Amino acid sequence: MSMSSALTLPPDETRRSGFFSRILSSDPPRSWVLSLILLAILLVLAATPFLFSGSQPLSTAAKICVFIVLVASYDLLLGYSGIVSFAHTMFFGIGGYGIAIALEQIEPTWASAGIGLVAALALSAVLAAAIGLLSLRVRAIFFSMITLAVASAVAVLASQMSEITGGEDGLSFQLPFELRPAFRPLEDQLFGVTVNGRILAYYLIFFVALFVFLLLLRIVNSPFGRVLQAIRENEFRAEALGYRVVAYRTAASVLSALAATVAGALMALWLRYNGPDTTLSFSIMIDILLMVVIGGMGTMYGAVIGATLFVLAQSYLQVLMAAGSEALEGIPILPILIHPDRWLLWLGALFIISVYAFPGGIVGRLRQAKQ
């Protein structure tokens, strides 16, 4: 057997390799450790309803799925296009309010949800295009300030239009019957779990989030995505080569806004509620920035890592600190330092440590270690 034939993959392996390459848009993790982490996250999220009992693990997993989409959509702007926007939660909120208003004002059906989502996507596209075309010609810092002003104005508007948005109280609504806890598609249990509408709602969020993430991965690895990266590195050179910088950045802003709108719609469907603090809060914008930096800017896989770690820390850090505080009771100072009321302090400390330990994000460090 010749050396070339020995190194050639069998036909089945070649087809399998080509299939996964197409799924990942020819952008594999490029690190076996990262591949294992991503695979573990995917499998655990897919099996969460059957692995863990209780509502908190399921809610945490659903929130991770939503924030993976939200963070990946923002990374399309910040990491791949070099655009610093503070209006991302505005599009997140538009998606949530689109679903909430449609299901509350019309009727809790799939048709109403579809109308709300389409209307939200259309509004987000128009706003993102208008902001991009009118503001992306100015210097980066001024664009950031413009997006912050627009996002603040929309948040105030949502709080004051109480007849439509519910004001500060937000909107609670009913879901389509198939997504309600009372719905039972199967008479018998599946792997010891009673499958109901709540679990179906989770899998709806899971598969939509997976599809949108793979779509964003495809976008950043397309010729369009390569142009965005070229503009990020040197916009003057890209413009000299004939690329219309404002047009490309505006298109990136619109695509990012549409993905964030879908994330907001998924969050509203899961919570069966939407309000200013749920999707429009500026603190959510800060969380998105933290997740992007922790995972690694300019790497879609960083959105998965950053969102998973951050949401898990938000959900369980207080529980772990409470257990640790009780275990160390009687020892001076330590129980006070790790009291659960100080979880934000330790979350900030963990963020600072992660930035120093992984200046290029966790994904960047893992890929460097492979080299």
Residue 270 has pLDDT above 90, yes or no: yes
Query: What pTM, to 2 d.p., does this model score?
Result: 0.90
**pLDDT value at position 7?**
39
Q: Dihedral of CA 278/284/288/294: which sign? A: negative
**pLDDT value at position 19?**
59
CB count within 10 Å of CB 67 equals 26
Q: In terms of pLDDT, which residue wins out, 101 or 193?
A: 101
- 264-288 core/surface letters (b: 16 or more CB in 10 A; e: else): bbbbbbbbbbbbbebbbbeebbebb
Could you read off the pLDDT of 116-154 as tens digits, one per residue? 999 999 999 999 999 888 877 766 678 888 888 999 999
Q: Which residues partner with 273 through β-bridges?
A: 172
Residue 10 has pLDDT above 60, yes or no: no
**pLDDT value at position 233?**
86
- Token pair belonging to 257: 């806004």
Could you read off the pLDDT of 281-331 as tens digits, one per residue? 888 998 999 899 889 888 899 999 999 999 998 888 878 877 877 777 777
CA distance 167 to 163: 7
Cα–chain-centroid distance for residue 123? 20
Could you read off the pLDDT of 124-133 as tens digits, one per residue? 999 999 988 8
CA distance 248 to 253: 9
Torsion angle (degrees, nearest 10) of CA 308, 311, 316, 321: 100
- The CATH fold of domain 29-42+56-370: ABC transporter involved in vitamin B12 uptake, BtuC (1.10.3470)
Q: Which amino acid is at 113?
A: A
Q: Which residues partner with 190 through β-bridges?
A: 193
- Segment 252-281 shows an average pLDDT of 94
CA distance 102 to 109: 9
Which residue intervals of the chain are DSSP H helices? 3-7, 11-23, 32-51, 55-81, 88-105, 110-135, 140-160, 162-165, 197-220, 223-233, 235-240, 245-271, 282-295, 300-327, 334-337, 343-357, 361-370
Phi-psi region of 62 (alpha: psi -120 to 50; beta: other; left: phi over 0): alpha
Phi-psi region of 194 (alpha: psi -120 to 50; beta: other; left: phi over 0): beta
- 68's CB contacts (< 8 A; 6+ apart) are 209, 213, 303, 304, 307, 308
